[in-house]
Amino acid sequence: MKPQEVKHIRNYDSVALGCPAMGFEEIDDDIFEPMYNAIKDDLPQKKVMLFGSYGWGGGEWMRTWEKEITGFGVKLVCDSVICCEGPDQLVREEARAAGAKLV
């Protein structure tokens, strides 16, 4: 999705943002990052949660993302949900609990 195609989030009270780690444990810079940059100025006024996955490493990209997003005023409603590869039952339960806090 291109930034100009993003339905603006101003009409929403809460936002869940998810992205898999790419390359060297970084947010996807081809598709996700342009969309994220288009909406991030509106995020400090929203309830926000983050989720994502990674295929190797320890998920450090999520800690970096959390630090960045809270650094410009976003208050996360819960711990980020992150998993290696696909979610297991525990991660699914964490995601449900996070979603409940978001709404």
Give this prediction's pTM.
0.86
pLDDT tens per residue across span 1-50: 455 556 678 788 999 999 888 777 777 778 888 888 888 888 998 999 99
Bridge-based pairing of strands 14-22 and 26-27 is antiparallel
* CA separation for the pair 68, 33 (Å, rounded): 13
Distance CA 30, CA 23 (A): 11
Percent of the chain with pLDDT strictly greater than 70? 93
DSSP bridge partners of 52: 19, 82
* Residue 74: pLDDT over 80: yes
Amino acid occupying residue 31 = I
pLDDT at 3 (0 to 100): 53
Rounded alpha-carbon distances, angstroms, from residue 77 to 19, 59, 99: 17, 20, 10
**Residue pLDDT, tens place only, 54-71:** 887 788 889 999 999 999
Other residues' Cβ atoms within 10 Å of the Cβ of residue 52 = 20
Q: Kindly report the number of other CB atoms within 10 A of residue 59's CB atom.
A: 17
